[in-house]
Every structure is written in structure tokens, then in C-alpha cells.
Amino acid sequence: MSAAQPAHPEHPAYPNVRGEAHVIDLTRRRNRGLTTPAGRRTPTMNTDTPPGSPPGREPSSLDLVVDDMQKWLHACGHTLTDTDTATVVMRTLEMVDHIVLAGAEAHGIITAGQRQELSELLAGLKLAAEHVQQP
């Protein structure tokens, strides 16, 4: 059998395929939302105003960071409004600051000034997570 011959010629052709083309039928089982690893569907967030910002007001940089963090978490079935998730996110940010950045500075990978700048960025992410938890 040559490489040009199909490996399993007995398989029926897809209804939307013409001739001998080997393609994936995109008309079947189209996904209309994000799914989690467990297969649960989660709604996508396509809003003009990030959550937490009042309508009619330009979103602040904090609102935009919160929106971005929420999109990342929603993609895997989580949200910052869940206390356990928010706690894990905040503790992870603290670990990156106190373990990863401290280690990088100790080994000369980054300077003390660079560590300070990165720590401030992490503090901003932590502030965004805390912003969602406020009543």
C-alpha cells in the first residue's frame, strides 16, 4: 500500500465530502461554548462592559484586569466570585512573588529593582482578585 492510498478504504465517506478528499467534517458536533476538562459547558463572556464596572462608565484598568482574569478562569470552569478559587489565585500570586521572584533575585537572574517592579505587577493582580470579592 502506498502513502497515497487510504489506510481504511472500507470506512464510509462523510456526507459533506466530495471525491477522495480526507477532511474533518466541521458541520458535525460544533461547539457553541467553552467546555471544561470534565466536558461541562460554560458560557462565554462577550460583554462590552467588564463585570464589576457600572454601565455607562469607562472601565478602569482594574476592571479590565478583572475581566481578563475572569475570562482565563471561566475557560477552565472557575470564577473569582468563588471564594475558594479567589483564595487559590491570591495564594498562588503570593507564592510567585515570595518564592519564584526571590529565587530569581538570589540567583542573579533579575535585579532587586526588577523584582520590585514584578512584585508590583503581582500586587495589582492580587488587588483585582480582591476587588471581585468585595461586597
How is residue 11 written as a grid cell? 470506512
Residue 35 and residue 96: Cα distance in Å, rounded?
Answer: 28
Instruction: Give the length of the chain.
Output: 135
Residue 41 near residue 34 (C-beta atoms within 8 A): yes
Residue 51 has pLDDT above 60, yes or no: no
Q: Which residue has the higher pLDDT, 127 or 45?
A: 127
The structure's pTM equals 0.54
Secondary structure class of 11 (helix, strand, coil): coil
Task: Name the DSSP class of 107.
Answer: T
pLDDT tens-digit series, residues 57-114: 788 888 888 889 999 999 999 999 999 999 999 999 999 999 999 999 999 999 999 9
- pLDDT, tens digit, 9 for 90 and up, residues 39-48: 555 555 555 5
Confidence of residue 36 (pLDDT cuts 50, 70, 90): low
Range name among 14-18, 35-39, 52-56 with the lowest pLDDT average: 14-18
Locus of grid cell 467534517:
25
| SS3 call for 35 | strand
> Domain locations in the chain?
34-133
